[in-house]
Amino acid sequence: MGFELLGYGYAVLVTSGGVIGYIKAGSIASLFAGLLFGVSAWIGAYRLSQNSENFWVLLGTSGTLGAVMGVRFLNSWKFMPAGLIAGASVLMFLKICVDLLFRSHPSRNKSP
């Protein structure tokens, strides 16, 4: 249950980032991207909460957003908003990958 909460928190962060970008700078692109990726992350977190095998939407969303915002961060070196969203996206992506790695090897999960 805790992992899905991370997914929902990530979705709220992405969505609120788009809304704040629109309010502060009047950027329609920020609003659109924030809503698109936020809803996608929300759907991914919901699907993951229903079945642990439904990780693809959240993995794709976090990977795409991590790459796009990572490039923006490297070009500008501004933490807000590119660095924050890139960092959160990369962490979410890595969390899913680590969970998949340990799930695919059941012998690692057994206690002695």
Nearest to 58 by CA among 20, 31, 95: 95
Number of domains in the chain: 1
Confidence of residue 108 (pLDDT cuts 50, 70, 90): low
CA geometry: angle 98, 16, 46, nearest 5 deg: 45
Domain extent, residue 37, equals 2-102
38 has a pLDDT exceeding 90: yes
Half-sphere exposure of 38 (CA within 13 A, CB side): 16
In a domain, 111, yes or no: no
Sign of CA dihedral 8, 60, 104, 50: positive
- Give dist(CA 100, CA 95) in Å, integer: 9
In a domain, 93, yes or no: yes
In a domain, 89, yes or no: yes
In a domain, 9, yes or no: yes
In a domain, 110, yes or no: no
In a domain, 58, yes or no: yes
Average per-residue pLDDT in the chain? Answer: 89
In a domain, 108, yes or no: no
- Determine if the pTM surpasses 0.75: yes
